[in-house]
Amino acid sequence: MQVDKTTLQDISIFHREEEQSIFFKLNHTHTNRGREHLRKLLSNPLNSVTEINDRQNTIKHLIKVGNLLPTTITNGTIMVIESYFDTVVDHYPKQPNIVNSLTYKILSASSYSVTDYSVSHFFGFLKDINKIKNIFESIEESNQIKIWHDRISSLLNRPVMQSVLQWKKDKKLSPTETLWLGNYLRHSYKEQCFELLTIYSQIDAFNSLAIVCSKNDFHFPNISETKSPFIKAEGIYHLLLETPVCYDLNLDINKNFMFLTGANMAGKSTFIKAIGTCIYLAHIGMAVPAKKMELSRFDGLLTNIQVEDNILRGESFFFNEVQRIKRTVDKVRDGKKWLILIDELFKGTNVQDAMKCSLSVIEGLRKTKNALYILSTHLYEIGEELKIYDNIVFRYFETSLADEQLVFSYQLLEGISNDRLGYLILKREGVTKLLEEL
Does residue 310 sit in helix, strand or coil?
Answer: strand
In this structure, the number of other CB atoms found within 10 A of the CB of residue 278 comes to: 27
Beta-bridged to residue 175, according to DSSP, are none
What CATH number does residue 138 fall under? 1.10.1420
Domain identity same for 230 and 199: no
pLDDT at residue 65 tops 70:
yes
Q: Is residue 125 assigned to a domain?
A: yes
Q: Which letter, b or e, does each residue of 176-215 get, where b requires 16 or more Cβ atoms within 10 Å of its Cβ? A: bbbbbbbbbbbeebeeebeebbebbbbbbbbbbbbbbbbe
What CATH number does residue 273 fall under? 3.40.50.300
> Rounded to whole angstroms, what are the CA distances from 81 to 121, 129, 197, 292?
7, 14, 9, 44
- pLDDT tens for 350-365 read 778 888 888 999 999 9
In this structure, the number of other CB atoms found within 10 A of the CB of residue 380 comes to: 18
Q: Tell me if 317 sits within 8 A of 309, measured CB to CB.
A: yes
> Helices 268-284 & 49-65, crossing angle to 10 degrees?
90
Closest CA to 80 of 123, 117, 109, 116: 117
Residue that terminates a domain, selected from 184, 215, 246: 215
Q: Is residue 84 assigned to a domain?
A: yes
Q: Is residue 1 assigned to a domain?
A: no
Which segment of 55-64, 262-271, 338-347, 415-424 scores lowest on mean pLDDT?
A: 415-424
* Number of residues written out for the chain: 438
pLDDT at residue 222, as a whole number: 97
Q: Is residue 3 assigned to a domain?
A: no
Domain identity same for 306 and 390: yes
DSSP 142: P
Domain identity same for 247 and 382: yes
Residue that terminates a domain, selected from 149, 183, 215: 215
Q: Is residue 411 assigned to a domain?
A: yes
pLDDT at residue 313, as a whole number: 44
In this structure, the number of other CB atoms found within 10 A of the CB of residue 251 comes to: 22
Mean pLDDT of 117-136: 94
Residue type, 402: A
pLDDT at residue 279 tops 90:
yes
pLDDT at residue 312, as a whole number: 37
Residue 421: pLDDT band with limits 50, 70, 90: low
Which long-range contacts does 277-281 make (Cβ < 8 Å, 24+ apart)? 277/11, 277/12, 277/13, 277/22, 277/238, 277/239, 278/221, 278/233, 278/236, 279/231, 279/339, 280/1, 280/3, 280/11, 280/13, 280/45, 281/22
Domain count, the chain: 2
Q: Tell me if 126 sits within 8 A of 118, measured CB to CB.
A: no
Q: Who contacts 147 (Cβ-Cβ below 8 Å, separation ≥6)?
A: none
Domain identity same for 124 and 229: no
pLDDT at residue 424, as a whole number: 65
Domain identity same for 237 and 194: no
Percentage of the chain exceeding pLDDT 90: 67
Residue that terminates a domain, selected from 157, 190, 215: 215
Domain identity same for 410 and 328: yes
The Cα 419–Cα 400 span in angstroms is 9
DSSP letters, 158-171, are: SHHHHHHHTS-TT-
Give this prediction's pTM. Answer: 0.90
pLDDT at residue 309 tops 70:
no
- The CA-to-CA distance between both ends of the chain, in Å, stands at 55
Task: Look at 309 and 282; give whichever has higher pLDDT.
Answer: 282
Domain identity same for 52 and 194: yes
Q: Is residue 408 assigned to a domain?
A: yes
Q: Is residue 22 assigned to a domain?
A: no
DSSP 292: E
pLDDT at residue 373 tops 70:
yes
Does residue 237 sit in helix, strand or coil?
Answer: coil
Domain identity same for 202 and 272: no
Domain identity same for 126 and 274: no
Q: Is residue 295 assigned to a domain?
A: yes
pLDDT at residue 263, as a whole number: 74
pLDDT at residue 307, as a whole number: 57
pLDDT at residue 319 tops 90:
no
The Cα 372–Cα 32 span in angstroms is 38
Its domain, for residue 142, covers 31-215
- pLDDT tens for 199-256 read 999 999 999 999 999 999 999 999 999 999 999 999 999 999 988 889 999 999 999 9
